[in-house]
């Protein structure tokens, strides 16, 4: 069965497994205090153009969002996100479970608008009763967003500026960051992100690793005793090497970029396949997730041969579906899909 | 440098890595809904002699303790543990962070005593003010304990009986369970544990896996919507296959038992080495962790050649140290240690 | 200075103070175990036409919402409220601080619509990813709402029916319940509420008490060990008599109804004053809170002589303001206001 | 029935009720923004000899402990208390429910020892694994303690010095502070407390108020947005005047001291009664709580005529009981008790 279901349906890039095997018998200290973690951090610092960056490896995306947000907010603060933000909808209430409200503003194809953010923050502070409300203490964006869309550097700069005005940190969820960085339609690079964000993470799970996300604090602003808070939330991996070796490999010889670029190339081909058949796109995504509006009957037919994600009902007889490529999508997969659709 | 520092300083048993490589390209659903998770669960059910057991794979030990305890307790309840219990001392307050008190009773070489437990519970319920105190809602034991010691089946039965009387679940932390099961001095098997405990976990991280713990609910008592609670605590692994493949391998051809037994054989040799030199043991451990009282000067000398754990000061000039073996300890390691000590 | 600022700007109805003085020296057990609490509960049961009702007295509104919601929800559940609901906006995130998400649906003059609620719940359960989202575990409504509006019995029945279909409790926040019960335009009585809701509270703080809210569980469904959970949240009053005496007094000789009716009569007069001057009402409120749209210049002028609440900007030069009456509003207050406005 | 059960079995000092009646109809802003709160704060500042003190009024003791501790600790920190501390034993786990561990050291008649505290803190920081443990982030003492005992100024200074060395705040729970201040055997005054502690509270509930505790931050160290955190925990009283008027009255004409002194005089008489009959005291309490060891048979006999508190079993046939006096204990009560005992 062909599968374009998501970008985490296969294991890890072979180079990563190879390195895990090679380093397997080396005795290394636990909890991230090993040379592979150190080396990976150094390479990430370089890639971010930020020698001072502090980096911490965590296991998964929801975990990372929850740990970062709850360790940076004060108890009376919440995090502002687009209504469609992952933290707002699809994390089973992990942020609220940690005691903090997710404050939502409208999402536009997954993105928040700097001006609407500014209006929201101004209204909050102007409200005479604001001390009886949740303080907006952080801004959360995802890049690519849950809809595959990307912020431009100008948009990122504008959001960062609003955050600066209100002195609250900007957090970028990069669960699929590689696919954003290698999109053909972006001017946002790792150094750009490191410059504008106060904290962000470089996703591994969805970009070729077995698991793992690299949290980056570019401004010497990692919360004190972060490791203890990570442990306290059950998020500290005993064999930290598992994360260190993976990120060290991803950031060696540009592997992270190369496999992300491959996924983008595959996604462009998928796009072409649907375009050629005049299928309607739900929105224009420049990354590895493509959202197409299909007739329900056609969906039924296709599902016998290929797995993809049912996103949401579009109208009575049509549905939005998602086709995702990844580092693991092959030329053959795409050809088979073409044959199926045509 | 020789290392007896702990049982999580090396990667994973080679068979596990081999299987991860072999299954790597198979497209599999996420979050534990894959055939390897299913197969692993089935094998664990068999090993436990408990066809009804519900099983859930988590990533690490502290995470598992926190998830299990906080999802089984009601808000007004705490968990009873020995004073030296891992949940009480070395988890950075993860249990309290989840809102629950760890209620402690004395530990005897790491173990709790059924009678003392009973006395504690009786005193609680007899106290006219008990509604202003934390309800003891669960009992936590570790097996092997933090000191490498083991409960006998009789002791386990006695504790389970007390729990039954007060109708609170018994939870067994099996972070190092393999080493307990294969000790030469135990009558406690997996089926015995499944019979007496209400929930327990089979440790992977410290017994040959890269990561992973298998939580077993033997009595159809997995809390409803457990998966959502796991997700909410950031503990749900996207690529559940990583845990499924590992446990499937560990429970194929008795690998879990074989590598645990190897560690025990190695530990017996380590024991002999110190015994031959008339070193004093802090306590008699029948598992893979050995606690020896050494002169501080000797410790200084040894540390130049071998890594081991500093446990606690014994007196002015002596210190308790821990030497741990594992599935990865080699005959050569032990011979080198012998040479060093003699 | 005249004041129509809110319904909690004065102390308590004099009869309450009188009873506090009369009973002051009686030695009584703490924590609500006194005869006045018992008597008050009995009277409330009668007023609710519900002999089985379990009742618990708490101190304030936000506290009550937080205690009730967090003690009735399971960890993976959130509470559904109208976007304008007090729990969603004006409680400083108390519900999220207790670990639960407030799930919002549109508000219509403060009220939720049964059909929209049903659609929301259906969509949740139909979503294939719903286990990665917060379970809707309770429905919260306020009556009167934050906008002074009221549900009809038919509306209440419809919402209760939806809750029944999804087997989740319906919670009614009655911080200003008296003013709702005595409105001239309602068919909702205490017995009606007790029949349709799973839990509700009868507000004291805003209806003539110094403090205090009476939580009613009409269906033998008070969560086990509720008192301990109350204590754990710091909400258990040592001198429970303070609440018992107050509610006993409020439910003696219909005091609660009589003072509420007085406030309604006063509110009708306030309404007339603004109506006579052709002022525009923001909405039609049948209770003690009246929302009027005034020119900013007029607001400036009025504020020199009377205190009232600034609600929100209406347009460039007009603002919505709130005039609230209470048990303590006098005929003279209203006459003075008439003189001011005319 | 005679009652020496506790110091919160009667209402409030008559002067307080009188003032509540007198001020009842004044329209005042809510949430503590009224002139009586201001006046009370000013008087407390004077009484503490600390013009800079920030003061916040809360409703009850457990609430105050929970709010103060959880708003001052960082997530990875716990509070150090004597094993018998109220926060450790009798608050239904409120501190842990707020996410923080109560770290215990031995109690000596309810008091902690500065040297043992120092040893504990040193051991924590010397432990190589301390980052995997809960950071001691605050020290909690009660004065009088749960056993009625008092710290001397020298003892307080010593504890404060240890806290200073480790740079953690010292919190003094003064639920019964008045009785401590007016003991004949103390050199600890309010200014002494304000000098040595970083935060403390002056108990109202047990010293003549209907409810209320005054939290004092003497060093300009009230946590930012404390009010919002109080609200978030459901602890913000709408009619703050209720607390303001009470504390204003207590700190007018030395009422707080006078009624406390009265209780001490009564306690001394109670002490004499038991001493004259050669009863054994469990410990020597210089405050309003007296702990006496009585034969179980005698307890049975007495309980028919007088209420007192059963503390704990002393041995097979004897029990420790507590007789408490208060501002409300009369000369007649004591005489009746004498008659009963003799």
Residue B57 pairs in a beta bridge with: B214
B interface with C, Cβ–Cβ < 8 A, is 70-71, 74-76, 99, 131-132, 135, 224-225, 227-229, 231-232
The answer to whether the Cα torsion of A327, A328, A333, A335 is positive or negative is positive
Mean pLDDT, range A134-147, rounded to an integer: 98
CA distance C56 to chain B (A): 15
Q: Is the pLDDT of residue C1 over 90?
A: no
**Mean pLDDT for all residues in chain A:** 97
pLDDT at A342: 87
D interface with B, Cβ–Cβ < 8 A, is 75-76, 78, 89-93, 96-102, 128-129, 131-134, 310
CA distance D228 to chain A (A): 6
* Whole-number percent of chain D with pLDDT over 90: 98
Mean pLDDT, range D113-132, rounded to an integer: 96
Strands D280-281 and D289-295: antiparallel
Q: Exposure of A185 by Cβ count < 10 A (0-12 exposed, 13-18 middle, 19+ buried)? A: exposed
Which residue is closest to B124 within chain D, CA to CA? D89
Q: Which of D316, D265, D328, D318 shows the shortest CA–CA distance to D291?
A: D318
| Cβ-nearest to B129 among D90, D96, D97 | D90
Q: Is the pLDDT of residue A1 over 90?
A: no
Q: What angle do CA B87, B40, B45 make, to 5 degrees?
A: 75
pLDDT at B140: 98
| Cβ-nearest to B10 among A1, A24, A97 | A24
Reported as a single tens digit per residue, the pLDDT across D25-44 is 999 999 999 999 999 999 99
Q: Which of C149, C109, C107 shows the shortest CA–CA distance to C287?
A: C149
Please list every residue in chain B whose beta carbon sits closer than 8 Å to the beta carbon of residue C71.
75
CA distance B85 to chain A (A): 16
Q: Are C244 and C36 in contact (CB under 8 A)?
A: yes
Q: In what order do the strands lie in the sheet with B135-142?
A: B54-58, B213-217, B199-203, B170-173, B135-142, B77-82, B102-105
| Cβ-nearest to A133 among C90, C132, C134 | C90
Which residue is closest to D129 within chain B, CA to CA? B90
CA distance A2 to chain B (A): 9
| Cβ-nearest to D133 among B89, B131, B132 | B89
pLDDT at A330: 97
Compute the distance between CA of residue D341 and CA of residue D273 in angstroms, rounded to an integer. 7
CB contact under 8 A, C14 and D24: yes
CA distance B96 to chain D (A): 5
Which of C30, C56, C72, C74 is the best mutation test for B, with the most CBs of B within 10 A? C74
pLDDT at C16: 98
Tokens of D220: 């300009």
Q: Are B213 and B205 in contact (CB under 8 A)?
A: yes
Which residue is closest to B65 within chain A, CA to CA? A234
Coil vs helix vs strand at D54:
strand
Compute the distance between CA of residue C281 and CA of residue A173 in angstroms, rounded to an integer. 45
> At which residue do the structure tokens 């051809």 appear?
B253
D236: left (phi over 0), alpha (psi -120 to 50) or beta: beta
A216: left (phi over 0), alpha (psi -120 to 50) or beta: beta
The model's confidence at residue A149, banded by pLDDT at 50, 70 and 90, is very high
Which residue is closest to D238 within chain A, CA to CA? A132
CA distance D269 to chain A (A): 48
Q: In what order do the strands lie in the sheet with D170-174?
A: D54-58, D213-217, D199-203, D170-174, D135-142, D77-82, D102-105
Q: Are A310 and A6 in contact (CB under 8 A)?
A: no
CA distance B67 to chain D (A): 15
Q: Are D180 and D192 in contact (CB under 8 A)?
A: no
Angle, to 10 degrees, between the axis of helix C241-250 and the axis of helix C14-22?
130
Q: Is the pLDDT of residue D1 over 90?
A: no
Which residue is closest to D101 within chain A, CA to CA? A232
Q: What angle do CA A113, A114, A119 make, to 5 degrees?
A: 100
Please list every residue in chain C whose beta carbon sits closer than 8 Å to the beta carbon of residue D11.
20, 23-26, 239, 241-242
pLDDT at C180: 98
Q: Is the pLDDT of residue C164 over 90?
A: yes
Q: Is the pLDDT of residue D327 over 90?
A: yes
Please list every residue in chain B whose beta carbon sits closer than 8 Å to the beta carbon of residue C76.
225, 228-229, 232
Please list every residue in chain B whose beta carbon sits closer than 8 Å to the beta carbon of residue D129.
90
Compute the distance between CA of residue B159 and CA of residue A342 in angstroms, rounded to an integer. 67
pLDDT at B73: 98
pLDDT at C342: 87
C interface with B, Cβ–Cβ < 8 A, is 70-71, 74-76, 99, 131-132, 135, 224-225, 227-229, 231-232
Which residue is closest to B236 within chain C, CA to CA? C132
Which of D29, D56, D75 is the best mutation test for A, with the most CBs of A within 10 A? D75
**B-D contacts at Cβ under 8 angstroms:** 56
CB contact under 8 A, B310 and D128: yes
CB contact under 8 A, D90 and B132: yes
Numbers of helices and strands, H then E, in chain B: 14, 13
pLDDT at A182: 98
CB contact under 8 A, A76 and D131: no
DSSP C276-290: HTTPEESS---SSEE
| Cβ-nearest to B62 among A3, A28, A234 | A234
Compute the distance between CA of residue A326 and CA of residue C141 in angstroms, rounded to an integer. 46
Which residue is closest to C71 within chain B, CA to CA? B75
Per DSSP (E only), the strands in D143-275 are 170-174, 199-203, 213-217
Q: How many alpha carbons lie under 13 Å from residue D253 in its C-beta half-sphere?
A: 4
Give every residue of chain B whose pLDDT is below 70, as ranges.
Answer: none
CB contact under 8 A, C90 and A128: no
Which residue is closest to B132 within chain C, CA to CA? C228
State residue B319 phi and psi, 5-degree precision. -140, 145
Compute the distance between CA of residue B48 and CA of residue B41 in angstroms, rounded to an integer. 10
Q: C-alpha D87: how far from its chain's center?
A: 11
Q: Which own/partner contact pairs does C280-283 have at CB distance under 8 Å and 24+ positions apart?
A: C282/C311, C282/C314, C282/C320, C283/C109, C283/C147, C283/C148, C283/C149
Compute the distance between CA of residue C98 and CA of residue B138 in angstroms, rounded to an integer. 22
Q: Which chains touch B (3 or more CB pairs under 8 A)?
A: A, C, D
* Whole-number percent of chain A with pLDDT over 90: 98
Q: Which chains touch C (3 or more CB pairs under 8 A)?
A: A, B, D
> At which residue do the structure tokens 């059924």 appear?
B114
Compute the distance between CA of residue B213 and CA of residue B200 in angstroms, rounded to an integer. 10
pLDDT at B342: 87
CB contact under 8 A, C92 and D228: yes
> At which residue do the structure tokens 């929301």 appear?
C120
Coil vs helix vs strand at D332:
helix
Compute the distance between CA of residue C178 and CA of residue C42 in angstroms, rounded to an integer. 18
pLDDT at C43: 98
CB contact under 8 A, D76 and A132: no
Mean pLDDT, range A243-247, rounded to an integer: 98
Please list every residue in chain D whose beta carbon sits closer than 8 Å to the beta carbon of residue B131.
92
**Mean pLDDT for all residues in chain D:** 97
| Cβ-nearest to D225 among A70, A71, A135 | A135
Please tell me the pTM assigned to this model. Answer: 0.97
| Cβ-nearest to A225 among D71, D76, D224 | D76
Which residue is closest to B132 within chain D, CA to CA? D92
Q: Is the pLDDT of residue D342 over 90?
A: no
């Amino acid at each position: 069965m062909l599968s374009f279901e998501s970008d985490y349906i296969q294991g890890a890039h072979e180079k990563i497994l190879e390195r895990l095997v090679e380093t397997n018998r080396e005795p290394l200290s636990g909890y991230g205090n090993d040379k592979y973690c150190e080396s990976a951090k150094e390479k990430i610092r370089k890639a971010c153009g930020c020698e001072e960056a502090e980096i911490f490896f965590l296991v998964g995306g929801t975990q990372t969002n929850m740990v970062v947000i709850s360790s940076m907010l004060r108890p009376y603060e919440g995090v502002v996100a687009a209504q469609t933000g992952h933290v707002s909808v699809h994390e089973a209430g992990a942020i609220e479970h940690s005691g903090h409200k997710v404050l939502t503003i409208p999402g536009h194809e997954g993105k928040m608008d700097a001006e609407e953010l500014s209006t929201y923050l101004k209204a909050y502070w102007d409200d005479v009763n604001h001390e009886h409300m949740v303080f907006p203490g952080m801004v959360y964006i995802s890049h690519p967003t849950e809809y595959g869309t990307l912020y431009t550097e100008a948009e990122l700069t504008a959001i960062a500026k609003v955050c600066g005005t209100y002195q609250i940190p900007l957090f970028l969820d990069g669960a699929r960051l590689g696919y954003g960085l290698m999109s053909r339609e972006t001017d946002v690079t790792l150094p750009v992100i490191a410059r504008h964000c106060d904290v962000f993470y470089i996703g591994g799970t969805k970009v070729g690793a077995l698991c793992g996300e690299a949290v980056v604090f570019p401004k010497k602003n990692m919360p004190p005793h972060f490791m203890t808070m990570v442990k306290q939330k059950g998020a500290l991996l005993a064999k930290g090497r598992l994360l260190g070796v993976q990120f060290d490999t991803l950031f060696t010889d540009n592997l992270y970029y190369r496999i992300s670029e491959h996924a983008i190339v595959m996604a462009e081909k998928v796009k072409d396949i649907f375009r050629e058949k005049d299928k309607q796109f739900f929105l224009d995504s420049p990354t590895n997730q493509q959202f197409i509006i299909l007739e329900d009957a056609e969906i039924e037919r296709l599902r016998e041969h290929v797995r993809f994600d049912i996103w949401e009902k579009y109208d009575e007889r049509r549905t939005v579906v998602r086709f995702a490529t990844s580092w693991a999508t092959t030329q053959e997969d795409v050809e088979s899909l073409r044959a199926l659709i045509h």
